[in-house]
Structure formats: structure tokens, C-alpha cells
Structure 1
Amino acid sequence: MKKIVFCPLSPNMWEGFQTLYEDIISDPDNKVWVIPVPTYRRDSDNNLSDCEYSLEGYPANVKITEVNNFSFETEQPDIIYVQNISDTETLGFTMHPFFHTTNLKRFTKNLTYIPYSCMKEPGCSNHEYLESIRFMLVPSGFYNIDHAIVQSENMKSTLMHLLAGQSKALFDEWNSKITWQSYPRIEILKRYNKKTVPHPKEWDSFLVHKTTIHLLCTSVLDVLENNRNLFVKLKVTMKKYIDIKDQVLLIWRPHREMMTILKIMRPELVDEYEEILNYYKSNNIGILDESVTPTAAITFADKYIGDSCAVAVLFKSTGKEMDFTLFGDT
């Protein structure tokens, strides 16, 4: 009997484990626990507040175990799957210290990291840029894990470059630890089609009789880097889709925390962003995707336009068409 523990950060992030969990529970020789992780806001003095700990909101086939009802020390799981390994390094956020990699590694010989968030892939050629984002790609907790499942072969190569450098011994070690096969957020896209993918009911009135669907995503990074120029491109793109909306349906998916982040980091852009949102809605241009994950939007879309964000990474895995020239092209 193999003992396996999943430690999700939130029900909104369960999709990052879902396909792996379903495969594992199908084997009667596996004993599985799902133990949500308490998370907190952390200030600059390392004080914790605003605990978030949800035992509800998971799929019906997921049996949740409350953290105090499980003894890691007694059970000594064969595998522990985690979604975050930035033990104390993420500004404003932290997990309960029990779930830091420095602690969890005491209870298993296979601590496996599956990052929920995809990243725009930087590649290995720009060494200076890679070093500037090292803290994001390989936080200190990376050195405590036994395995990792990442989004792509290219991301594995990037991580190998940072972790191993020119050392063949380190290359061989990390090559055996990191895989890009069966990354759950890509695997789940293979399990749905347009008829089976769960989606908001209000989408149906847009989807009926539409044979061509385009997906436009707007990332926080793109807005922060391009400011008002990005909004100009959005407006140009939306006007174009007004003219063809009888033939082509546009799904627009701005980052779910866009407004919150703009209020903090670009307050001067808040009114303009609200104007863009209202323009899109009032002209009934298409679907405004505010759902938790982009899975439905990716599944319905025939073509991707927009910036090279995390959703683009997931969309690329489907093999469907991507055309970045359509965004803002006059």
C-alpha cells in the first residue's frame, strides 16, 4: 500500500493536481489524503495575519482531511505533492510553517513539487535576465524537494541551467528529478472538448452558432510594462471584433486580479481599465472570462491572440493556432 498526500493551497488551485489525483485514486493499492494548506498574509516584519484555510469547494470525488486529523510523522507518506516551495520568500504571502519544505521533507523520501502557476518561458540564452528572476524559478525550497513536474521541456532546460550550471554531476542529479511529462494543467486540457468542458452558463448565449472562437488574454505584467499603450491596443482589437462578431466570437480573459493590482501599483490606470471593461461589456463584443481557470476558454477557442502570458503556454500545448499579430493590428 502506497501512502500519498496532496497539499493544495486553495480549491481554486485544485486543477493543478486534478488529473494526477484521479489517476492515483484509480489504483486500489494507493491510500490517498488531500490536506489543504493554511496560508497567511505576511508583513515586512514577518508577522502573520488573515489566515485562509478552506475545506470546501473541492470536487465531489475529493475527500478532504483536516490538517489536525492527520499525522505526517506517524504515516510517513511515500509521496507528498506540494504546489508552493517558497517557504518564506514570497512577499506578502506564506504557508503555515509546518508546510514549509524544510519541515515536510522530514516525513517523506519523495517530496514532489508541481507548480500551479505557469510562466512565460524565458529560455536559457539571456543569462543576466535569468539570474534576475532566479528567486522566482528556483526558490530555496527547490533544494529540499526530491522531484518536480514542470510545464514544458523548455522550462525544464531553463531550471537545469540555473540549478546545474556547467556541472555534469549536478546536471545528472537534477535531470533525474525534474520531468515535464504529465503536467496536470496541460493534461486536463486533453480530457475535455467543447461539448464536455465545464463552463459558466451565461456563456451559452454567445457560443450558440459560433463556429470560430478567438481567445485574447491580458496579463498583469503586460499592463505594468506597457501602461496606456496596452489599453490602446486593446481598444483597437475590440473595435475590430465588433465588426466581425457575427462570424467570430472573442473571449477576453484579463488577469483575475488586474483591478486589485492596478489600484496598488498603477492607480492612475484604474479609470482607463474600467472604461475598457465597460466598452467590452456595453458593446456585447464577446465573453468576458472571469472564471477561476482558463481551461474552458482554452478548450473553446480555435485561435489564441494576445500577449505571451501563462495562458499562452497552456494554449500552445494544445497545438491550436496562435497569431500574435491580430492583437492591436490595425
Structure 2
Amino acid sequence: MFLKKKQRVLELTDTIIEMVGILNQIQDPSQELSDCLMALDIIAEQLMQEEELSPLLIEQFNTVQSSFVMYYENLKELTGDNLSETLAQLISLVSLIKDTINTKLNIVFFPYKVSMWDSLSTVYEAAKNDENCVVNVVPIPYYQLAQDKAIPTYEGDRFPEDVKITHFDDYKLEEQEPDIIFIHNIYDNYNTLTRVYDEYFTSNLKKYTDMLVYVPYYTASFIPYKKGGFYPYHSPAIDNIDKFILAHNKEKEIALEEGIQEDKLLVLGSPKLDIMYRSLNSKHEYPEEWKEKLDGKTVYVLNTGCMYFAVNPFVALEKLIDIFNIPRFVENSVILWRPHPLTEISILKYTPYFSGYFSNLLDNGINGNDPLYKGIILDKTDDYMNALLLADVLITTDSSILRSYLLTEKKVLFWDEKAPKDSLVPENAFYYAYSKSEPWYELVKKFPEGYDPLEQNRIGVGSQVYVNSDGTSGEKIFREIKAALQGRRS
């Protein structure tokens, strides 16, 4: 029996026990007896859904039910001795329900974008491997928000084959009443690029569960957020969340400064780092069409965020083209460009006049036969891990991809002049694209020759910032949430 439903059965038995204590004090307890019989019917209905029931439990339940039928039909049977006996029967019934009915947890994961599933996947694995859990993964529909339209989108058919998917039409929240809900998006109706369907807003999900858990789709930055400067911390949805998973201790300090209740906060790392950690020691397959272009080359992975073209897109394009020129002056090199999955929708939302230029860049430039782009590979796959494992150098600003990449301890060309202020990553762990002493166009010529004076500075830098960066975050999140829920229900 699922935990929440078992608790409801026990609450009903407690109510009946309380009623037994006052029945003989009521002049006409017919209504109260009717209520008790109705409660017993509800309990019976729940018990009948169990595959196996102890014969002793069935016998004890029938005895209790018969006693209340007797009282209802003949109020004179409401004697002190009879009620004492019924009380003992009820106490025995409660013990049998607690001890003989196996308690399971009803758990559901509500991811929305497949590219963000890595933020939940190792939590899912831990839950799936627990024999006392029933787990559903229900990818939820969402809208891509352009300037004048909302585009319905569903990605459930793109999830990994080893993840059993339940279609959202087949999962009824009001019937399931899950014990635990895991989500990675709490933006509700406040997001500007995407919006999940209304029924999956946190305000609605909270109606059906006692444990709504937010595991962010991003890995928290190693650059501490300023007070009021990071939306999730002051999102109205935080009030609906029971537990908020944080990646490092500094993040908790800032969340507390923002006024988030401490009992909501669990510093347990990021499942995204679990995926990176595992991938370091496993073989990864990448698209066949990449192999010829990559073979024997120095791979520069270029990462751009979802808002890269949202402000001054032509200036952004010019900077991009500069980097695209690397294969033209660095022999045996290639650019693997991974634009954020929401890049196109952000262009439609904020700079629609640039949409045609962007499409032309992709279709006629990189994916076409333009010789200027023959050294560029466009990565629009759902799995960013390929790019990070193939990279010799990552060119990026601060991003979730960079935070995962820290675990590789490979070279980073940070797309700025110097380190961000108050960074938890030492300044001398990165190279800087716009450094006056050693700019990017000089560095990229040296890297293929083995130039890397900062190599030692990167060792262990990821684990210095992020907790449980050894591949155990998802397992620990699951265990902590399970313990918290069971402690709350005990």
C-alpha cells in the first residue's frame, strides 16, 4: 500500500478509536455510528486493493465491522464492556495494518525537456532500484513562447530507451496522489521562453503530494549569486516546494539570505555531475557523421547560452564568427558548436528580426556546403556529454555545461577578459579569451602543441566547489527525501 494511502487508513482508524471513547456519552449516537461504518467502508475499499492480506487482519477487520453493525442496529449494545472490547479490537487492527501491510512509495518524475533529464536521471535510477517504490516518469508538455504565439511541445518520445515513459494523458494526479513528486522546473507561468501546461504548475502539483522536490535543471554557478539577482530564489513557486536541492554550501548561504526556509534546503550536489563523473570512465558514442571531421583533430567545443543572441545579435554573431575562424589558421583543428537548446525560441522571442540570419547560418552555412564553415560541426543532439568528452578545449562563459566540464580537468578558455568577481573557482584555473597578455587567437595556436601551464591548477577544482561530485548525488538525494518523508509520516 502506498504510504499516503496507508496513512489515510490509519487516520481513519484513529478517528474511529476516538469515537469509541465518547459513543456512550451521546444521547443518540446513530449518526456517529453511521459515520464510523462509512469510514470502515472506505478502509475496506482500500484494503481490497491489496494483492495479499493477512488472514488475521481480515478476521480482525470483520470483527470490528460486525461490532459497529451490531451497535447501529441495537443501541442497547453500547455498554462499557462491549466498547472496551471494541477498542481493543481496533488497537489490534491498527497494529496489523502497520505490521502486515507492506508500505511502498508512489513516486513520479515530471521532466519537461529531454536535454534536462540529466538533472533527474540518477535520482530516478535510485528510486527505480528500490523494491519498495513504484516509479513513473511522465514527461510533461510545455509551450515554446515566441512573441505572438505559444507552441505546444512534447518530448516524451525522445527520452533514453532504458527510461520507461508514462504518457501524461495516462497519469491522473488526482487518482495517484503521489507520495513524492520530483521536478526540475519551478517557473510556472513566470518563464519567458517556455511554460509548462497549467496543470503542472507547482501550485497545482502541491495539492496532490506531501513532498514536492525541486532538483534544478541547472548546476548552480561557482560565481555566487547576488541578493535578488537569481530568480529561482525569489520565485513564488518556492512557497509550494517542500525540498530544494542545492549543489554547494555557498548556494545555501545565499538562499537563506533570500529568506528561503532552512528546512526546505538540502545541499546534496547535482545529478548532472553524476552523469559527467560516470561518463569519464565509460565509452561514449557520438554521431557517425562527426567522425571524419574529428579524427586526429584538436577539438574546440564552443558553448553559447540560450540568450546569446537576445541582445545585440549581430555583435554576438561577429564574436561567433571570430571563433569559427580557428580551423582556418590552426592546422588540424575543428570547432564543435553547441548552441543552447532554447536558442532559436529565444531569438523568436527577443530578436525575431535576426531569425532569418540565424537560419541561414545553420542551413546554408554550417549544414550547407559553404567552404568557410567546413571546420565547424553543429551539435544539436539531446546529449551534451558527447561534446564535453570530445573537447580538448571548452570555449564558454559561465554555464551548466562548464560546471560539469570542471570534472574533466581539461582546458577552459573562458569567454571574458578575466575571472568573474568572487568566483569559487580559482582565477588561475582558466585561460581568458580576451586577456591582454595572452588573447584567445594566440592561445588556440599553442594548445595543439601541448601548451598548458595551468594544468595542475585544474586538478580537483570541481570537487572543491560541488558536494557529492563523485557520482553519488542522485542516490543521496533519493535517500534523504525518502527519509524526510517517512520521518514526517511517522
Q: Which residue of 1 aligns with 2:109?
A: 6
Deviation of 1:244 after TM superposition, in Å, equals 1.7
Letter in 2 for 1:24: A
Q: Is the 8 A contact 2:300 2:393 kept in 1?
A: yes
- Tell me which of the two structures has the higher relative contact order, counting C-alpha pairs closer than 8 angstroms and 6 or more residues apart: 1
Letter in 1 for 2:181: I
Q: Is the 8 A contact 1:156 1:180 kept in 2?
A: no
Residues 321 and 270 of structure 1: is their aligned pair in 2 closer, same or farther, counting only changes over 3 Å? Answer: same
Deviation of 1:81 after TM superposition, in Å, equals 0.5
Q: Which residue of 2 aligns with 1:63?
A: 164
Residues 257 and 60 of structure 1: is their aligned pair in 2 closer, same or farther, counting only changes over 3 Å? Answer: closer
Secondary structure in structure 2 of the residue aligned to 1:36: coil
Secondary structure in structure 1 of the residue aligned to 2:382: coil
1:142 to 238, 247, 250: 238
Q: Which residue of 2 aligns with 1:214?
A: 300
1:258 to 324, 328, 343: 343
Q: Which residue of 2 aligns with 1:198?
A: 285
Letter in 2 for 1:209: G
Q: Which residue of 1 aligns with 2:189?
A: 88
1:107-118 mapped onto 2 (5 Å cutoff): 107-118=208-219
**Structure 1, residues 266-286: CA drift from partner, whole Å, max 9, x if none?**
355456656765665633213
Q: Which residue of 2 aligns with 1:185?
A: 272
**Structure 1, residues 38-70: CA drift from partner, whole Å, max 9, x if none?**
33467999xx96543454222222222234544
Q: Looking at secondary structure, tell me which structure has more helix per residue.
A: 2
Letter in 2 for 1:314: S
Q: Which residue of 1 aligns with 2:202?
A: 101
Instruction: Work out the CA distance in 2 between the residues paired with 1:89 and 1:263.
Output: 18
Q: Looking at secondary structure, tell me which structure has more strand per residue.
A: 1
1:47-62 mapped onto 2 (5 Å cutoff): 50-62=151-163
Answering whether residue 255 of structure 2 is matched by residue 159 of structure 1, we say yes
> Is 99-108 or 264-273 further displaced after alignment?
264-273
Q: Is the 8 A contact 2:107 2:181 kept in 1?
A: yes
Residues 226 and 5 of structure 1: is their aligned pair in 2 closer, same or farther, counting only changes over 3 Å? Answer: same
Letter in 1 for 2:301: L
**Structure 1, residues 208-264: CA drift from partner, whole Å, max 9, x if none?**
233x42211122434434543333332332223322241x33312223443443354
Secondary structure in structure 2 of the residue aligned to 1:224: coil
Answering whether residue 375 of structure 2 is matched by residue 285 of structure 1, we say yes
Secondary structure in structure 1 of the residue aligned to 2:403: helix
Q: Is the 8 A contact 1:79 1:108 kept in 2?
A: yes
Residues 279 and 26 of structure 1: is their aligned pair in 2 closer, same or farther, counting only changes over 3 Å? Answer: same
Instruction: Work out the CA distance in 1 between the residues paired with 2:356 and 2:193.
Output: 26
Q: Which residue of 2 aligns with 1:313?
A: 403
1:235 to 318, 321, 326: 321
Answering whether residue 440 of structure 2 is matched by residue 329 of structure 1, we say yes
1:20 to 111, 115, 123: 123
Instruction: Work out the CA distance in 1 between the residues paired with 2:282 and 2:296.
Output: 13
Normalising to structure 1: TM-score of the pair?
Answer: 0.78
Instruction: Work out the CA distance in 2 between the residues paired with 1:232 and 1:68.
Output: 45
1:244 to 327, 330, 337: 330
CA RMSD of aligned residues (A): 3.4
Q: Which residue of 1 aligns with 2:136?
A: 33
Q: Is the 8 A contact 2:143 2:153 kept in 1?
A: yes
Instruction: Work out the CA distance in 1 between the residues paired with 2:224 and 2:345.
Output: 30
Deviation of 1:115 after TM superposition, in Å, equals 2.1
Deviation of 1:73 after TM superposition, in Å, equals 4.3
Q: Which runs of 5+ in 1 are unaligned?
A: 165-169
Task: State which structure, 1 or 2, has the greater radius of gyration over its C-alpha atoms.
Answer: 2
Deviation of 1:75 after TM superposition, in Å, equals 4.0
Q: Which runs of 5+ in 2 are unaligned?
A: 1-103, 415-431, 442-490
Instruction: Work out the CA distance in 2 between the residues paired with 1:262 and 1:301.
Output: 27
**Structure 1, residues 289-312: CA drift from partner, whole Å, max 9, x if none?**
122242211122132113223322
**Structure 1, residues 132-165: CA drift from partner, whole Å, max 9, x if none?**
x44444311112111122454444443333234x
**Structure 1, residues 8-47: CA drift from partner, whole Å, max 9, x if none?**
21444333322221222122222111123233467999xx
Answering whether residue 178 of structure 2 is matched by residue 77 of structure 1, we say yes
Residues 42 and 255 of structure 1: is their aligned pair in 2 closer, same or farther, counting only changes over 3 Å? Answer: closer
Report the number of matched residues.
Answer: 312
Residues 206 and 163 of structure 1: is their aligned pair in 2 closer, same or farther, counting only changes over 3 Å? Answer: farther
Q: Which residue of 2 aligns with 1:167?
A: none
